[in-house]
Amino acid sequence: MFWQGEYECMDRGELELLQLERLQATLNRVARNVPLYRKRFAELGIDPYDVQSLEDVKSLPFTTKEDLRQHYPYGLFAVPLRDVVRMQTSTGTTGKPTVVGYTSGDVRRWSELAARILTAGGITKDDAVQIAYNYGLFTGAFGIHSGAELIGASVIPSSSGDARRQISIMQDYRTTALVCTPSYALHLADTLEEMNINKTALSLRFGLFGSEPWTEETRLEIETRLGIQATDNYGLSEITAVAGECLERTGLHINEDHFLPEIVNPLTGEVLPPGQKGELVLTTLTKEAFPLVRFRTGDLTALIETPCTCGRTLRRMTRIPGRSDDMLIIRGSNVFPAQIEGVIATTGIHNPHYQIVLDRVGHMDRATIMLEAPESFCTDSIKESQRILENVRIRLHTELGVAFEVRLVEPKTITYEAQGRIIDRRKM
Partner 1 sequence: MQPTLLALKNVDVFYGRIHAVRRATLHVRQGEIVALIGGNGAGKTTMLCTVSGLIRPGQGSIMLGDQDIVSRTPEQIVRAGISHVPEGRLVFSPLSVEDNLRLGAYTRPRFRQREGIATDLEAMFDMFPVLRERRAQPAGTLSGGEQQMLAIGRALMARPRLLLLDEPGMGLAPMVVKDIFRHIVNLRDRLGLTVLLVEQNARSALKIADRGYVLENGRVILQGTAAELLANRDVQRAYLGRELDE
Applying CB under 8 A, the residues found at the interface with partner 1 are 6-7, 10, 14, 17-18, 20-22, 24-25, 28-29, 32, 48-49, 51-52, 79-80, 82-83, 103-105, 108, 286, 288
What 3-state DSSP class applies to 177?
A: strand
Smallest distance from partner 1 to CB 250, Å: 25
d(CA 23, CA 26): 5
Smallest distance from partner 1 to CB 36, Å: 18
- Which is closer to partner 1, CB of 21 or CB of 194? 21
CA 185: distance to chain centroid? 17
- Which is closer to partner 1, CB of 4 or CB of 385? 4
Which of 249, 258, 238, 236 lies closest to 8, judged by CA?
A: 258
- Which is closer to partner 1, CB of 48 or CB of 95? 48
- Which is closer to partner 1, CB of 52 or CB of 379? 52
Smallest distance from partner 1 to CB 146, Å: 16
What 3-state DSSP class applies to 365?
A: strand
> Between vectors from CA 37 to CA 31 and to CA 41, what angle results, nearest 5°?
80
d(CA 257, CA 72): 28
The string of DSSP letters for 138-172 reads -HHHHHHHHHHHHHTPEEE---S--HHHHHHHHHH
Which of 323, 415, 339, 288 lies closest to 94, judged by CA?
A: 339
- Which is closer to partner 1, CB of 87 or CB of 414? 87
Which of 301, 369, 365, 295 lies closest to 337, judged by CA?
A: 369
Alpha helices in 276-371 (DSSP H): 337-346
Sheet with 303-304, edge to edge strand ranges: 154-156, 128-131, 177-180, 206-209, 229-236, 240-245, 252-254, 316-317, 303-304
Where in 51-189 does DSSP place strands (E)?
A: 86-90, 98-102, 128-131, 154-156, 177-180
- Which is closer to partner 1, CB of 103 or CB of 218? 103
Q: Which residues contact 163 (CB under 8 A, 6 or more apart)?
A: 187, 188, 190, 191
Which of 212, 304, 307, 197 lies closest to 261, judged by CA?
A: 304
d(CA 256, CA 304): 13
- Which is closer to partner 1, CB of 104 or CB of 276? 104
- Which is closer to partner 1, CB of 29 or CB of 277? 29
Smallest distance from partner 1 to CB 39, Å: 19
Smallest distance from partner 1 to CB 5, Å: 8
Cβ 137 vs Cβ 89: under 8 Å: yes
d(CA 319, CA 384): 47
Q: Which residues contact 191 (CB under 8 A, 6 or more apart)?
A: 163, 164, 166, 167
Smallest distance from partner 1 to CB 74, Å: 16
- Which is closer to partner 1, CB of 112 or CB of 245? 112
Smallest distance from partner 1 to CB 83, Å: 4
Torsion, Cα of 113, 114, 118, 119 (10° steps): -30
- Which is closer to partner 1, CB of 77 or CB of 138? 77
Smallest distance from partner 1 to CB 6, Å: 4
Smallest distance from partner 1 to CB 20, Å: 5
Q: Which residues pair with 101 in a beta bridge?
A: 87
> Between vectors from CA 120 to CA 317 and to CA 110, what angle results, nearest 5°?
80
- Which is closer to partner 1, CB of 94 or CB of 286? 286
Smallest distance from partner 1 to CB 113, Å: 14
